[in-house]
Amino acid sequence: MILLGILIKAFWSGIAAVGFAILFNVPIRTLFPIGALGAIGGLIKFGSMFLGVEIVFASFIGATIIGIISIQMAHMKKSPPLVFSIPGVIPMVPGAFAYRMMLGLIALIDLEDTDIYIQTLIDTVNNGAKMIFVLISLAIGVSMPMLITRKESIKKSVKSGN
């Protein structure tokens, strides 16, 4: 039953990736690979979390796999890797943490009880920190494979003597 839940979340991650790809007006030939990348990224993220990996590292693993596969898809479909990686990783953006953080900030305005205020502040900072670290891990995970496999920049820097 848990595996089914992970597969359903992965499926909807793929659908969301296609939706963002359509929003970004990508070529139609890239929609299926983008959906597959979104589903693979969601499967890796939620599967890792089920195995006990924290959300930040699980998001990093999923984004890194999306970055690696997007390079291969770019060669196959004759499109830039960003066409595949960015829509594929957007469903992993931690919207729930951002929402809870904003609700916490709003709640802090009216609280007068010190104990409730401190607990709300702790929860707000915790949600904000998770959101920021997940976003950083997504950015690093997507960009790292592209930076490592980028051949032109290495050739140019070797020729120029840098």
SS (H, E, C) 43-98: HHHHHHHHCCCCHHHHHHHHHHHHHHHHHHHHHHHCCCHHHHHHHHHHHHCCHHHH
pLDDT value for 154: 43
pLDDT value for 33: 94
pLDDT value for 66: 95
Confidence of residue 153 (pLDDT cuts 50, 70, 90): very low
pLDDT tens-digit series, residues 42-74: 999 999 999 999 999 999 999 999 999 999 998
Domain ranges of the chain: 2-160
Over range 32-41, report the average pLDDT: 95
How far apart, in whole angstroms, are the C-alpha atoms of residue 42 and residue 6? Answer: 8
pLDDT value for 86: 94
Question: Of 95, 88, 73, 98, whose CA–CA distance to 142 is shortest?
Answer: 88
pLDDT tens-digit series, residues 78-124: 889 999 999 999 999 999 999 999 999 999 998 888 889 999 999 99
Mean pLDDT (the chain, rounded): 90
CB 9, CB 42: distance < 8 Å: yes
